[in-house]
Amino acid sequence: MVAVLAVFALVTALVTGRLGGALVGGRLLPTADLGTTWGDYLDAWHAVGGGTGAPASPSLAVLALLGSVLGGPSVVVSALLLFGVPLAGLSAYLATRRLATPLRRALVSGGYALLPAAAISAGQGRLDVVVAHVLVPPLLAGIAAVIRRSDGQWLGTACLTALGLAVLGAFAPLVHLSLIVLALLAHVLVPGNGLRGRRRAAGLVALVLLSIACLLPWPAVLLGHPEILLHGLGARVVEQPASVLMAVLSPDASFAGILGALLVLAAILALAVCFEVRMLAGVGVALLGWLVAVVVGTASAEPLVGGVASPGWTGGPLVLVAAGCAWIVLVARVPALSWKVTAPVLAAGLLVLGAGSAIGTASGPLRIYQAASETGTRLVLDPGPQPARLVTGAGPGFGDDDLAPAGAAADWLRQVEQDLLSDDSARVRGALAEVAARGADHVVVPAGSRLPELAYDMVVDDGRVTGTNRELRLLVPATPVKLVGPDLARRAQTEPGPAPEARPLPVDARLPSFTVRISEGGHGRALVLAAENEPGWYATVDGKRLPLATAWGHQVAVPLPEQAAEVQVGYTELPRTTLLVVQAAVVLFTIIAAIPGRRRKTKTATNR
């Protein structure tokens, strides 16, 4: 089964031209190298969307850990997206060793692995659904083991399952939450008394708390921004409302997705022909998955980074439904049938699922990434419904769109975009001045934009074309750190943005931490940073801490003395480091507790 699925995945990757490089497209942003990925996760401040101190997604830590062994984060991402089918089949086969014979397990695991909804998600770069597709079967088996286990190995089983849940939660927090709900429901519905009941309760507490604590400080972000549960992780997109066809495991109502109905039909047939109580567990998993899919596919919310309110993608919940259907088929006591009848039916069903999986994978926008050599910071106006974005370097990377924006950064980007796309010269010029104050030295606008005409003295067209857009270079100072004089500093305290004619002095420094030596100057001057003023910034002058101010309504300003001094500016990493230490300790404890211990061997003496 694994060999056949691996060949299937390899042929699909070769036909679609996705083998042999880092992947990008759809919801998948480019994955950085190992050092950058570790830095993106560990850094307390991120130069994304005007700067934010929000915690990074723990998916970066998982990719960095696996990439340290497998050749880099991009290799891990490519392996999951291209070979998720055999990985899901193998995990389902190993997770069901207590439920059926090897032959039936192989057939059902193969059908689950070829789920078209998961293949469509992989083709669209939805890494969260692919991870859920691989991890859901062993996690369901782990939850079932915690519910029924009463021996001395209960803690190890709970910790191992919690570790898997944490990995799942790093990519698919909604599926993680759904499995926790399943575990709690099973605890309530399945009877358990005495020692077994106490150990089960303790195992569930460990399962829930450890799986959440291993993700610190990310759970706090989910509480403050529950829209992440709806939209999941990855590049921002506008989803379409789900149709009733999600009842047959189709997340997008496509022909390939509808072929997943074979799994639902197999489960319904098993329930109708040979129903027994053991099937109710699979029914519960499938019903919860459908319920979550309905909520995700119909409820709308604005994305984390701003934009058009839209529903979520139902691929993750439909993986739960597929796992429930597979569970029902596995535990069914099928009456003896002639292989002359069943073999062609099974082969035809698997071929249909394979065709749907291949079509769904090939139809997505996933492609090999062609690295760009861009430098600096630029404001990109998206021609679609998505808001503008501030891009540093080659462009946004994996995890950037999962960072919660600081303060009013999302609102500021929306307003600047509206001003730049207007036909009012004053609004355009004011917006360009604000963009320069944020450190952007280029603006990417649609090809038909009138911006060069309305602000001819502030931008110049160098003839650079990016797709259907053109890139304009700003003629005003656009460094991350600027020195403003007393008059401009006073106006910055009261005005919402800099005037187009303002010309602050650029300072050679990089955010978030730098040290500069200033000379004597006028009273009231200040350093203005191209970053949102949020808790965590600090500044010292000759070693003495100074209170910070706000410039133009939302940017960090450092008041300077009249005399010469050494100024040190930075963003505190103490809270972030503390939480990372706690997270590392919890993960280490969970790993150690998950290692199976030696079972005691009892010796019996025989009398001769």
Query: Closest Cα to residue 126, out of 58, 255, 29?
Result: 29
Model confidence band, residue 606 (pLDDT cutoffs 50, 70, 90): very low
| 349: its two tokens | 């069903």
CA distance 63 to 143: 25
Residue 483, Cβ density class (10 Å: 0-12 exposed, 13-18 middle, ≥19 buried)? buried
CA distance 4 to 123: 20
Lowest mean per-residue pLDDT among 200-214, 243-257, 355-369, 381-395:
381-395
pLDDT for residue 605: 40
Q: What residues contact residue 407 under an 8 Å CB cut-off, 6+ apart?
A: 532, 533, 534, 554
Residue 192 has pLDDT above 80, yes or no: no
pLDDT, one tens digit per residue, over 406-449 is 877 888 888 888 888 888 888 989 889 888 888 888 888 887 78
Identify the residue whose tokens are 């419904």.
385
Q: Is 34 within 8 Å of 74 (Cβ atoms)? A: no
Residue 384 has pLDDT above 80, yes or no: no
Domain spans, the chain: 1-43+50-230+239-363, 377-474, 481-571
Q: What residues contact residue 426 under an 8 Å CB cut-off, 6+ apart?
A: none
As a 3-state breakdown, the chain gives helix, strand, coil percent values, each rounded to 5, of 50, 15, 35
Burial code (b: 16+ CB inside 10 Å, e: under 16) for 171-201 equals: bbbbbbbbbbebbeebbeeeebeeebeebbe
Q: Looking at per-residue confidence, does 115 or 447 come out higher?
A: 115
Given the DSSP bridges, would you call strands 537-541 and 565-571 parallel, antiparallel or unpaired?
Answer: antiparallel
CA distance 66 to 45: 24
pLDDT, one tens digit per residue, over 85-108 is 999 999 999 999 888 888 889 999
Side-chain half-sphere CA neighbours of 584 within 13 A: 8
Residue 386 has pLDDT above 60, yes or no: yes
Q: Looking at per-residue confidence, does 496 or 114 come out higher?
A: 114
> How far lies 282's CA from each of 9, 93, 267, in Å?
28, 16, 9
Q: H or E stretch including 515?
A: strand 514-518
Percentage above 70 pLDDT, the chain: 95
Average pLDDT over residues 375-384: 79
Q: Is 50 within 8 Å of 411 (Cβ atoms)? A: no
Average pLDDT over residues 147-152: 72
Given the DSSP bridges, would you call strands 23-24 and 389-392 parallel, antiparallel or unpaired?
Answer: unpaired
Q: Is 403 within 8 Å of 54 (Cβ atoms)? A: yes
pLDDT, one tens digit per residue, over 209-251 is 999 999 999 999 999 999 999 999 998 888 889 889 999 999 9
Average pLDDT over residues 54-60: 94
Query: Closest Cα to residue 213, out of 138, 147, 158, 163?
Result: 163
pTM value? 0.92
3-state secondary structure 531-593: EECCCCEEEEECCEEECCEEECCCEEEEECCCCCEEEEEEECCHHHHHHHHHHHHHHHHHHHH
Model confidence band, residue 376 (pLDDT cutoffs 50, 70, 90): confident
Q: Is 283 within 8 Å of 330 (Cβ atoms)? A: no
pLDDT for residue 195: 64
The alpha carbon of residue 285 and the mean position of all alpha carbons in its chain are separated, in whole angstroms, by: 24
Mean pLDDT of the chain: 89
Give residue 316's identity as a one-letter amino acid code.
G
pLDDT for residue 336: 63
Lowest mean per-residue pLDDT among 141-145, 248-252, 329-333, 499-503:
499-503
Please state the length of the chain.
608
Average pLDDT over residues 548-568: 91
pLDDT for residue 608: 42
Rounded to the nearest 10 degrees, what angle do helices 315-331 and 173-189 cross at?
A: 40
Q: Between the ranges 160-174, 367-381, 390-404, where is the mean pLDDT highest?
A: 160-174
pLDDT, one tens digit per residue, over 252-288 is 989 999 999 999 999 999 999 888 888 999 999 999 9
Given the DSSP bridges, would you call strands 549-551 and 514-518 parallel, antiparallel or unpaired?
Answer: unpaired
Query: Closest Cα to residue 45, out of 35, 56, 53?
Result: 53
